[in-house]
Structure 1
């Protein structure tokens, strides 16, 4: 026979909230319910539960103690929230009505844990996990996480079952996060990455190759990193490389005010945090140097080679001597300058090649709307 328990616990002292102290004599049986209106101090095993454990009322509730309680169904309807000073696990359903399960972000070993078949309903901006959520033995999972104000989920799709994965959202600058134990230099990045968000980031742990889907909204201030939503990319701080890495994009939709993206596959534990960045524009990526041309058939600098021109499909190169006389021109340059003039201008001793000295170049990459100028030294 199933035992039905309905236990309603109220704080009677308005100055100092009371607590339920579990020393091992509580169990929720099938179809049973226990309603917490006060703190729970769990100092004994509390893991053979069925039925519903609910957290209610208008006063903040704290769960603490030496043992992690494991509930079957869990419900929260408390606008002040439930603070976890010890972890909580749930076996079946979590029903978010109002109020957050709150974990102190500096204590990353405290989290609300969804076990193998656990799921949730009702998550929203005022009811979610404000801090760390974890999952056991699930391959794909959407973490119902955020901060005090907003729901900012991360969708994890893994190649295999995650024995354990964990995630939290931070509405903080990665350059100086007050509640994360590390700072991240936003300038440590390859040239192909443009501006990196200083507004928000996610901390994700996991060992299985996975893709993630994350979204942005007006508060994300995406306009600070790009003027075109199609240039948004996910980036992660490489733990071994100590630099930002483009995690790749397989899906992207939205505008500067709202949208989402899905990354390429990566191993979460390779990266300390994840956030948004922009793809660097060609103008940010490309810098042209000064060049040396030594056409002596030794295989080194025998012709003018400008590798950046391979990024353009509509370029022009013009070379002038120090007197401003055009000596060489080519559209869609293909490494043709070897020290000989090809212009129609009058060139002294054209057949033996241009004399050694300084020459100036002008390059236009018309399709990229880029223009460059510099000099080259021709040495025979």
Structure 2
């Protein structure tokens, strides 16, 4: 690095360079065209928010941590920490972040600690191994794509504000079932939703916070199991768990891109703070010539003991695939003959008899090799 290092220490003897940390007790500043590289932890208990140069975090052997009582704000940042940069206090950036190596990790159980993108700042270099694992915020007047993920999975969310008024939005991505979230004090029942909805994803969700109206663009990949949710991308919806109504509501689909393996979906405008979390769901319509009866009670009484698909005899080239709520395949049969009675064919570990427990499951029906129908059904005993 050919840049000169210019650091103004207003209170020189209140800056401590310990063996394990750079500890700021007073006033510190990186001047214009200056740069400093941190190879140890940073503790900021003073003023370190009027920086004009580059702050780099570098360590090829272990992690680094930024902590302290005050938020440092940098103009430019470089992150090259092989075992990740942990934030115990918020860090702001006003111009640019370069994700070179490792994750920036914020605590998911503390919404007061974020990576803050200020003044329409930007970033580059993000991928599955380089992003923000936890919460980030943006304050600015432009559309913004959050470089967020969960562990080594980049899953961006974009906000497209209705009114460009320098609103602050906050978001994090969770690769987990919303029915059993890890850091929320409540669960978000994916069986409780508006009548026009059919399936809510149990694979993932995002937390998006903000008081102003915005559209949200969500992403998916192969682990999102979109093929379970919909027979067509047009049937997908952004859905949110309403704080007031305590159920999943349809937030719309004004555009989709991609295919079942990877793509994006954009919602209609909504106010994020009216919803606990958001994810991807669907509204599914049957083919018309084929009818699936979506509840079975396999108790041997002769009523609803089998999953019946009416009219399927006209389509002998078919395949039925069944999944549990976690996306695990529990049954598959070509040329389905209405014979499924709630017993797995050994594709999932249930119990010694492979009897599937009571609950919601999902079907994908392929006709002539295409995903013609998909939806939920319920097993009751």
Q: Same fold (TM over 0.5)?
A: yes
Contact in 2 for aligned 1:24/1:44 (Cα 8 Å) = yes
Report the 3-state secondary structure (helix = DSSP H, G, I; strand = E; otherwise coil) of the residue aligned with 1:224.
helix
- Structure 1 CA distance, aligned partners of 2:104 and 2:294? 48
Q: 1:199 to 1:78 in 2, by over 3 A?
A: same
Task: Tell me the residue number matched to 1:240.
Answer: 244
Q: 1:104 to 1:284 in 2, by over 3 A?
A: farther
Task: Tell me the residue number matched to 2:50.
Answer: 48
Q: 1:34 aligns with which of 27, 33, 36?
A: 36
1:119 aligned to 2:122?
Answer: yes
1:269 aligned to 2:290?
Answer: no
- Structure 2 CA distance, aligned partners of 1:135 and 1:226? 32
Q: Which structure has the greater CA radius of gyration?
A: 1
Query: Shift of the alpha carbon at 1:243?
Result: 0.9
Task: Tell me the residue number matched to 1:294.
Answer: none
Question: Structure 2 stretches of 5 or more lacking a match?
Answer: 8-17, 296-371, 374-381
Q: 1:233 to 1:4 in 2, by over 3 A?
A: same
1:62 aligned to 2:65?
Answer: yes
Contact in 2 for aligned 1:167/1:205 (Cα 8 Å) = yes
Task: Tell me the residue number matched to 1:155.
Answer: 158
Query: Shift of the alpha carbon at 1:162?
Result: 3.8
Contact in 1 for aligned 2:200/2:229 (Cα 8 Å) = yes
Q: 1:208 to 1:162 in 2, by over 3 A?
A: farther
Report the 3-state secondary structure (helix = DSSP H, G, I; strand = E; otherwise coil) of the residue aligned with 1:230.
helix
RMSD between aligned residues:
2.4
Query: Shift of the alpha carbon at 1:57?
Result: 1.1
Query: Shift of the alpha carbon at 1:6?
Result: 6.9
Query: Shift of the alpha carbon at 1:111?
Result: 0.5
- Structure 1 CA distance, aligned partners of 2:74 and 2:258? 39
Task: Tell me the residue number matched to 1:256.
Answer: 260
Contact in 2 for aligned 1:68/1:86 (Cα 8 Å) = yes
Query: Shift of the alpha carbon at 1:164?
Result: 1.2
Q: 1:140 to 1:237 in 2, by over 3 A?
A: same
Task: Tell me the residue number matched to 2:226.
Answer: 222
Q: Which moved more, 1:128-137 or 1:224-233?
A: 224-233
Q: 1:108 to 1:182 in 2, by over 3 A?
A: farther
Task: Tell me the residue number matched to 1:5.
Answer: 5
Task: Tell me the residue number matched to 1:180.
Answer: 184
Q: 1:132 to 1:26 in 2, by over 3 A?
A: same
Listed one character per residue, the Cα deviations across residues 90-115 of structure 1 (whole Å, up to 9, x for unaligned) are 11111111111100111121100011
Q: How many matched pairs?
A: 279
Query: Shift of the alpha carbon at 1:53?
Result: 0.3
- Structure 2 CA distance, aligned partners of 1:88 and 1:100? 14
Report the 3-state secondary structure (helix = DSSP H, G, I; strand = E; otherwise coil) of the residue aligned with 2:52.
coil
Q: 1:163 to 1:260 in 2, by over 3 A?
A: closer
Report the 3-state secondary structure (helix = DSSP H, G, I; strand = E; otherwise coil) of the residue aligned with 2:171.
strand
Q: 1:42 to 1:239 in 2, by over 3 A?
A: same
1:92 aligned to 2:112?
Answer: no
Q: 1:197 aligns with which of 198, 201, 210?
A: 201
Query: Shift of the alpha carbon at 1:180?
Result: 2.8
Task: Tell me the residue number matched to 1:72.
Answer: 75
Contact in 1 for aligned 2:134/2:149 (Cα 8 Å) = yes
- Structure 1 CA distance, aligned partners of 2:102 and 2:38? 14
Listed one character per residue, the Cα deviations across residues 220-271 of structure 1 (whole Å, up to 9, x for unaligned) are 1222323433321110011111111010111013322122111111111111
Query: Shift of the alpha carbon at 1:196?
Result: 0.7
Q: 1:82 aligns with which of 85, 91, 97?
A: 85
- Return structure 1 stretches of 4+ with deviation > 4 angstroms: 282-287
